[in-house]
Amino acid sequence: MSVSVPPGITGLLGPNGAGKSTFMKVITGQLKPSKGTITVLGEPIWNNPSLYFRIGFCPEQDSFYERMTGLEWVTALVRLNGLSDGDATEMAHRALKAVELTDAANKKIGAYSKGMRQRVKMAQALAHDPHLLILDEPLSGMDPIARRKTIRMVKDWARAGKSIIVSSHILHEIESMTSNILLINQGRILAEGNVHQIRDLIDEHPHTVYIRAEQTRALARAFLAQDDVLSLRFEDEAVVVQTGRPDAFYARLTDLAASGELGAIHEVTSPDDNLQAVFKYLVKS
């Protein structure tokens, strides 16, 4: 496959197991292509460390040196770019400021919330001011407010001239950042172009949202009052909702989280059954 990524944001969309993370690992030089060659920014990526001056990668996995503070961790990683201690610290400060983590810079990463952990991962990716930012499921597990902030940040970086590839299995997330998408399934790029072309298809399938919150029953009551909510069920400390209009649902959810009137919303994730159904349809047709 040959994929061109213009300046701005390109969304990589596909269900779980579609090959998004493998694609990300190949274009970041962690995996070697079994056939053909991979060139990124015009150069082969495998065993080419100098290319990482121009690439920033935010991986999907929630893994850190938990005992380090955010500032120590980002500084230590930026130092690997060959910068002096002073310059590395300054760049780390700048990156943490860009992801709005200045206040928590000296806290141990082990004490960070899920949203803060995602943001500190992004800080290490952008600290050395790369041309190309590759973000693998950056919104995964974030609460609605952190999501909104992160989406805004990603858009700001794109406006500042960076090329950004963002992967997700949730159309709504990608759509809120860009209209330019790559559709991937079973390791192949199925389509490349404007998100709105598949939007109608997506809307035909109910969208499932898992919400872990403080007051799940109160949230459920609020959801049931909306006509786009098709069904809901409870799971431990979460409520799982099926909605026919994800845009409207997410907008209301963000407002609810911001107002705090129904308690804290800790985590929002979406199983990808709905997207899987759309992909099955696309592949058949």
Q: Which is nearer to other proteins, 134 or 151 (CB)?
A: 134
What is the rounded CA–CA span in Å between residue 153 and residue 98? 8
Site for other proteins in 216-275 (CB under 8 A): none
Torsion angle, alpha carbons of 210, 214, 217, 220, to 10: -40
Q: Which is nearer to other proteins, 32 or 221 (CB)?
A: 32
Nearest to 70 by CA among 36, 28, 100, 39: 100
Query: Per-residue string for binding with other proteins, 8-27, x by CB under 8 A?
Result: -------------x------
206 counts as binding other proteins under rule CB under 8 A:
no
What is the rounded CA–CA span in Å between residue 237 and residue 20? 30
Residue with tokens 């040959």: 2
CB of 135 to other proteins, least distance (A): 13
CB of 15 to other proteins, least distance (A): 14
**Is 19:190 a contact under the CB 8 Å cutoff?**
no
Give the binding-site size for other proteins (rule: CB under 8 A).
28
Q: Which is nearer to other proteins, 39 or 226 (CB)?
A: 39
Q: Which residues neighbour 160 within 8 Å (Cβ) at sequence distance 6 or greater?
A: none
64 counts as binding other proteins under rule CB under 8 A:
yes
CB of 44 to other proteins, least distance (A): 14
113 counts as binding other proteins under rule CB under 8 A:
no
Q: Which stretch binds other proteins (CB under 8 A): 72-80, 106-114, 222-230, 273-281?
A: 72-80
Please identify which residue in 11, 14, 15, 29 interacts with other proteins, judged by CB under 8 A. 29
In 10 A of CB 270, how many CB atoms? 24
281 counts as binding other proteins under rule CB under 8 A:
no
Nearest to 9 by CA among 123, 172, 126, 176: 176
CB of 172 to other proteins, least distance (A): 23
* Burial label, 86 (beta-carbon count in 10 A; 0-12, 13-18, 19+): exposed
67 counts as binding other proteins under rule CB under 8 A:
yes
End-to-end, the C-alpha distance of the chain in Å comes to: 21
Task: Tell me the pairing of strands 132-136 and 55-58.
Answer: parallel
Q: Which is nearer to other proteins, 10 or 75 (CB)?
A: 75
Element (H, E) at 224: helix 216-224
Contacts with other proteins by CB under 8 A lie at 21, 28-32, 47, 49-53, 55, 57, 59, 61, 63-65, 67-68, 76-77, 79-82, 124
